[in-house]
Structure 1
Amino acid sequence: MITKIINGVSFELKEDFDFDFLSEYGRVFTVFYKQDSGYLCFGVQDENKKLFLKMAGAATLESNVSIDEAINRLQSTVSVYEDLRHPKLIDMIEHKEIKGGYLTVFEWFEGECMGKQYGFFGKFISLPLEEKLGIYQDILLFHKHANECDYIAIDFYDGCIMYDFITKRTMICDIEFYRKKPVVNTWGRMWGSSRYMSPEEFQLGTEIDERSNVFLMGATAFQLIGGGIDRSFDKWQATERQYLTALKAVNAEKGDRYQTMNEYYEAWNKA
């Protein structure tokens, strides 16, 4: 293990890497290096703006994939971000090969991540109900858009939700596993947080379709507005009609859920 220091910011790697490319974008003010994805992420700033840089190629401490796999996966995300451009999705500005790896460059968003690993989950859950309903509406709008672009949302969870507590803006990030339809479960237990995953995402050979994303949106409602995996009405903070709508969405049987994202979206807004 080695410790690197760039512009006074330190982080750890398994082995050294050439980070000369960073100076092109400004001074590093923060580094995210403890993800298991194999990516290394930097916040950089020049005289005019901040940027978020995500790169693959360095040997990160907690990676659960090979360096080549991380590079190939990061390259494959480019088309996903380009296809799904949306006002609620972090904008990819640039992507390119670097010495020993690959780099993607995003706009910087002045917000906090809901992911439990970042320490702000409790702050999200403690927000007033109306604010949480607004965040959820933004999440619904983006996934309605993704569905209209023929994409299935895979591995969406707390860590994909960012929120600026001052301006009350929501943004979506980390959509790298979203895939074009049709999608079949070839893994058994797919990527993702079990709190958000439909039963078919644990079953080898099953189709992951629009009804799977209906389940995802229902599970997201329970994470934000209810008791998480405890889907009892006692833990629910909104109306009974909204509760029953979300509960139908997370039915274990596909045929008993809302059959399309539009159907769920309309039912939720009516509720």
Structure 2
Amino acid sequence: MGVLRHDGGMPTGSGLLAVRSSGPLDSYLPTVGHIFRVFDAQDSGCISYGVRTGDNSRWFVKSATTPAGARSLDRAREFHTRIRHTAVIPVRHSFTAANRPALVYPWVDGQVLYHPTVHTRPDRTAPTAPMAHFRRLPLPLVHQALERILQAHLVIAAAGFVGVDLYDGCFLYDFARDRMHLCDLDEYRPGPFTLGTERLPGSTRYMAPEETTAGAEINERTTVYALGRAIRLLMDSGDAESAWRGTSDQLRVVEQATAADPTLRYSTVHELCTRWRAATRHMG
């Protein structure tokens, strides 16, 4: 695979500061720590590792296995140089293996609410599924989780980024601490921009119509749509969207955020947040 080139600093004592290695990544990582998890069945063109280093620190190392995966991680590296929010799991270090990027994140305990692989598409409604567990939480905790998602996207929008490929797999929830985190925001990009392909990557459950329309403008209203869908799906008791747990005022906010015509949506993430908070203010 060639050498690993060190591109940035790591927290002291992490053990991932080696400048060069002639072996592949899965041979290099055991020289700096213990691989305790491998995520090798992803459909994103990436492979990831959980690594525990000698000082007992835990890290999530994500590397590209395809050109598309490399482009995605290059976007992620740019995104994380601009975005800082406590809900967004940060990139602490990056290096290059065989001319492809590898990113190092702190390990965060919790479960992603949906974890598809090349082999399986889990049933979100199964009683033991993370999404089903989340949907059983008391509403104040769901509101708290949604507020974290919205707060992070206020920062993201202010930095000029548009949400792309936001879906259940980006929501990592720590059920022990009742805390929402955002991960895998690798496709977020500076906006607005014109869609030059037939469609953007993403789940159709979250995608705005313009994301599958070549030549359409992708802008902050597109992010508003995705966030509206996140609220709709996380505030429901099931995937059929027939068991809304919120109020009619909250549902009206969601409906405007997810209007098919972008001009009918809230124009900014800030406006969506303001309307959502007003509708939620007295609910805990």
> Structure 2-normalised TM-score?
0.81
Alignment match of 1:55 (pick from 53, 56, 63):
63
d(CA) in 1 for partners of 2:244 and 2:30?
Answer: 49
Aligned equivalent of 1:38, options 31, 45, 50: 45
Aligned to 1:29: 36
Contact 1:195 1:229 in 2 (8 A): no
Specify every segment of 5 or more residues in structure 2 that has no aligned partner in the other structure, as ranges.
1-22, 117-121, 123-128, 280-284
Contact 2:157 2:220 in 1 (8 A): yes
Distance 2:253 2:208 in 1: 16
Would you say the 8 A contact 1:21–1:98 is kept in 2?
Answer: no
Residue 215 of structure 1: how far off its partner (Å): 1.0
Q: List alignment gaps of at least 5 residues for structure 1.
A: 1-15, 58-66
Superposition deviation, residue 73 in structure 1 = 3.2
- The 8 Å contact of residues 192 and 220 in structure 2, kept in 1 or not, is answered as no
* Per-residue Cα deviation, 1:43-91 (whole angstroms, up to 9, x for no partner): 111232111010124xxxxxxxxx3343343233211111112111111
Question: For the structure 1 residues 106 and 250, does the alpha-carbon distance in structure 2 shift closer, same or farther, using more than 3 Å as the test?
Answer: same
Which structure ranks higher in relative contact order (CA pairs < 8 Å, sequence separation ≥ 6)? 2
Identify the residue that residue 255 of structure 1 maps to in structure 2. Answer: 263
Deviations 1:206-259 (A, max 9, x none): 10111111111111111100267755xx52101111111111111111121112
State the percentage of identical aligned residues: 29
SS of structure 2 residue aligned to 1:19: helix
Which of residues 22, 26, 46 in structure 2 aligns to 1:19?
Answer: 26
Structure 2 letter corresponding to 1:45: R
Aligned counterpart, 1:239: 247
In 1, the alpha carbon distance for the partners of 2:25 and 2:60 equals 18
Superposition deviation, residue 102 in structure 1: 2.9
Distance 1:136 1:122 in 2: 16
What is the aligned partner in structure 1 of residue 205 from structure 2? Answer: 195
Could you say what secondary structure the match of 2:73 adopts?
A: helix
Match for residue 264 of structure 1 among 252, 272, 280: 272
- CA distance in 2 between counterparts of 1:56 and 1:182 reads 26
Q: 1:24 to 1:82 in 2, by over 3 A?
A: farther
Structure 2 CA distance for aligned equivalents of residues 244 and 161 of structure 1: 24
The TM-score, its normalising length taken from structure 1, stands at 0.84
Secondary structure of 2:37's counterpart equals strand
Within the candidate set 221, 234, 252, 1:211 is matched to 221
2:120 equivalent to 1:110: no
